[in-house]
């Protein structure tokens, strides 16, 4: 990605997170980036394309990070721990991106459906690891659909607490591991 496209990408992410998708105009983006509309349209055909690119890139980063980290783990419970740690780190590092996904995930708009699609793909990764762990006898037999959403939701929900109570990534990870993941062991 060239420098201009990256700046459009990063600025759009920040503006969408601050003002919402509907509250952000192409003029807001071009003004903040310091480029003409023609330059923006050279890289992206519409605000919707920018949004879709943001979500796709962000979710690809999350999935790639998880695949790399989980491949090095032998036990499925350790794969879940790796997922939670990566999820916490990415949510904190890319808070603006995650704010976009969370805010747009509800509803029936095209943006909502895009966010739902990527979140569901992510949940499928978690469900697959859970099911394999259950089949291997490492993880208690539970409903993988509900459990995957709980794993996703626990780390996300605890970020609110982190913002209000200055909780570190490490302490948050330890608490989720102690209070939740340990209980999944078969």
Do residues 9 and 1 make contact, with C-beta atoms less than 8 angstroms apart?
yes
Helix (H) or strand (E) holding 40: helix 37-43
Name the stretches of the chain with pLDDT < 70.
155, 158-167
Q: Is 62 helix (H, G, I), strand (E, B) or coil?
A: helix
Q: Which two tokens stand for residue 44?
A: 């992206």
End-to-end CA distance of the chain: 45
Helical axes 3-19 vs 47-71, angle rounded to 10°: 100
Q: Which domains does the chain have, with CATH numbers?
A: 1-45 (1.10.10.60), 52-184 (1.10.357.10)
For 67-119, the pLDDT digits (tens) are: 999 999 999 999 999 998 888 888 777 777 777 787 788 888 888 999 899 88
150 class by beta-carbon count within 10 Å (0-12 exposed, 13-18 middle, 19+ buried): middle
pLDDT the model gives residue 164: 62
HEC secondary structure over 93-150: HCHHHHHHHHHHCCCCCHHHHHHHHHHHHHHHHHHHHHHHHHHCCCECCCCHHHHHHH
CA distance 108 to 49: 18
Compute, in degrees rounded to 10, the torsion defined by CA atoms 97, 102, 105, 111.
Answer: -30
User: What is the chain's mean pLDDT, rounded?
Assistant: 87
60: number of Cβ within 10 Å: 11
């Amino acid at each position: 990605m060239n420098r201009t496209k990256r700046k459009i990408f990063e600025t759009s992410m920040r503006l969408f997170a601050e003002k919402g998708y509907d509250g952000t105009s192409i003029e807001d983006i071009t003004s903040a980036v310091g480029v003409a509309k023609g330059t923006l349209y050279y890289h992206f055909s519409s605000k919707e394309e920018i949004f879709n690119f943001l979500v796709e890139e962000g979710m690809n980063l999350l999935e790639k990070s998880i695949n790399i980290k989980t491949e090095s783990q032998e036990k499925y419970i350790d794969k879940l721990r790796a997922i939670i740690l990566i999820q916490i780190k990415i949510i904190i590092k890319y808070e603006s991106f995650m704010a976009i996904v969370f805010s747009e995930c509800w509803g029936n708009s095209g943006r909502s459906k895009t966010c739902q699609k990527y979140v569901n793909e992510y949940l499928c990764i978690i469900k697959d690891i859970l099911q394999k762990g259950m089949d291997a006898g490492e993880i208690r037999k539970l409903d993988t659909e509900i459990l995957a959403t709980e794993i996703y939701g626990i780390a996300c929900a605890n970020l609110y607490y982190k913002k209000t109570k200055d909780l570190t990534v490490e302490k948050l990870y330890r608490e989720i591991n102690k209070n939740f993941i340990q209980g999944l062991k078969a």
